[in-house]
Amino acid sequence: MENFKLRPEYLLGNRQLDAEHRAVLEYLDELYQGILAGRGEKQLFSLLEKLEVYFKLHFLMEERLLEEKGCPDLKEHLLEDAMFVRHLERVLAELRESTTTRAVDKVLFLKSWFEEHVQHLAVRHRAMLFSPISGRVRDGVAVPTGGHLAR
C-alpha cells in the first residue's frame, strides 16, 4: 500500500507550505484510491481538475514566498516549477486516456516527483521559509509545536 503522507523530514516549519504539501499528497491519494476502486470517469476527472488547479496555485504561492524571502536560486526554482507544470499537464491529459494500470503508474510518478520537490525545498530553503510561529527546527528538521504532528 502506498503512503501518501508528508514525511516528517520534509516539514518546513512553515504552516502554510506544510499544509499545502499535505493537501497535494491527500489529493494524489484520493485520485490513487479512486482509480483502484474503479470510480467513474466523471468523478476521477473532477479530481484531476482539482489537483491541477491546486498544484498551480500552490506553486504560485510558494514562488511568491520564495521571492519575498529573497531566495538566491529563485530563477532555477521557477524553471523547475514551470517544467513540472508542463509535465503535469501532459500526465493529466494521459491520465484521462489511460487504463487503470497506466493511470496508477502516472499517479505514483506524480507522487514521487512531488516528494522530490518537497525534499529539495526542505533541504535548500527550510531555514529561509521557517516561521517561528509554526514550529521550531531540531537537527535540521522542522518540528511542529502543536497539533497532531507534534506527538
More confident residue, 40 or 108: 108
**Residue 133 predicted with pLDDT over 80:** no
Lowest mean pLDDT among 27-36, 59-68, 91-100: 91-100
- Which residue range(s) make up the domain with 120? 11-131
b/e for 103-123, b at 16 or more Cβ within 10 A?
Answer: bbebbeebbeebbebbeebbe
Does 144 reside within a domain?
no
Residues 41-82 pLDDT 10s: 788 888 888 888 888 898 899 889 889 988 888 898 888 888
* Total of domains in the chain: 1
Does 110 reside within a domain?
yes
**How high does pLDDT run on average in the chain?**
79
More confident residue, 96 or 113: 113
Does 136 reside within a domain?
no
- Residue 50 grid cell: 482539482
Percent of the chain with pLDDT over 90: 3
Who's near 144: CB < 8 A, 6+ residues apart?
11, 13, 18, 134, 135, 150
Does 145 reside within a domain?
no
Does 71 reside within a domain?
yes
Does 137 reside within a domain?
no
List the CATH number of the domain containing 19.
1.20.120.50
Does 87 reside within a domain?
yes
**Residue 13 predicted with pLDDT over 70:** yes
Residue 87 pLDDT: 82
Does 150 reside within a domain?
no
- The stretch 94-115 carries a mean pLDDT of 82
